[in-house]
Amino acid sequence: MTGIASHEQISALIRHRRSIKPVDMDATRSVERELLSHVLEDATWAPTHGLTEPWKFIVHQGASRQRLAEAMQKVYRQTTPAHEFREDKMKKMGENPLLSAVVIAAVMERRGGDKIPEIEEIEAVACALQNLQLSASAAGLACYWSSPPLLGTPAFAEWLQIGAEDRCVGLIYLGWPRVGLNWPRSVRKPVETKTLWRDD
């Protein structure tokens, strides 16, 4: 098809994508609004049952990253049992949002009522986030999907100002890779170990 990337090119992009942590991003280099909008638009072309499009993206840039960091630390402190509390985790929550240029709170926003099961809406958002990561990788951006337990707390939902039935399914850290970063390598088990063929 004219104008469409080849199967080989798409396959190469999928296998090139990696999780790049905020510490390996260059927080001093901003991501242009036009590029960010393009990446988010690509995310919305995910499959969605009933065309409910249940994704919502709450984008934090500039000073709002500090407010996000403070909110995460506050909620973590309030909701984590004493025996599970880790000072290093709380410290990282205060640092990570400032290490990337952009942090996107990815929300599943219920729009299908009882007709569409919640799990299908969450799956649609997950597909959208895969699109987002592939688009970001194609643009040369680093991307990291984080999902600490505090995202599922009523306190964090209240801070995000999302509905009672909505779910924050992840924080997407986005930015340019720091200079000199060696793009991580990875492996996957052979697909044959995960596949059952039933031909008769």
Q: What is the pLDDT of residues 73-92, one digit of tens each?
A: 999 999 999 999 999 999 99
Q: State the DSSP string of 88-108.
A: HHHHHHHHHHHHSSEEEEEEE
Does residue 39 have a pLDDT over 60?
yes
Does residue 1 have a pLDDT over 70?
no
pLDDT confidence bin for 5, thresholds 50/70/90: confident
Average pLDDT over residues 95-122: 93
Question: In whole angstroms, what is the distance from residue 68 CA to residue 103 CA?
Answer: 9
What pLDDT shows up at residue 115?
A: 85
CB 159 within 8 A of CB 171: no
CB 97 within 8 A of CB 72: yes
CATH number of 17-178: 3.40.109.10
Are β-strands 167-177 and 142-146 bridged in parallel, bridged antiparallel, or unpaired? antiparallel
pLDDT confidence bin for 113, thresholds 50/70/90: confident
Average pLDDT over residues 1-6: 73
What pLDDT shows up at residue 111?
A: 80
What pLDDT shows up at residue 177?
A: 97
Question: In whole angstroms, what is the distance from residue 125 CA to residue 166 CA?
Answer: 12
Q: What's the pTM value of the predicted model, to 2 decimals? A: 0.93
Does residue 61 have a pLDDT over 90?
yes
Q: What is the pLDDT of residues 49-59, one digit of tens each?
A: 999 999 999 99
164: tokens are 């009672």
Question: In whole angstroms, what is the distance from residue 67 CA to residue 160 CA?
Answer: 11
**What percentage of the chain carries pLDDT values higher than 90?**
92
Q: Measure the N-to-C terminal CA separation of the chain; round to a whole number of Å.
A: 34
Q: What is the pLDDT of residues 121-180, one digit of tens each?
A: 999 999 999 999 999 999 999 999 999 999 999 999 999 999 999 999 999 999 999 999
Question: In whole angstroms, what is the distance from residue 100 CA to residue 105 CA?
Answer: 13
pLDDT confidence bin for 2, thresholds 50/70/90: low
What pLDDT shows up at residue 147?
A: 96
35: tokens are 């590029």
What residue segments make up the domains of the chain, in order of their start? 17-178
**What percentage of the chain carries pLDDT values higher than 70?**
98
Which of 58, 44, 36, 62 is CA-nearest to residue 156?
Answer: 58
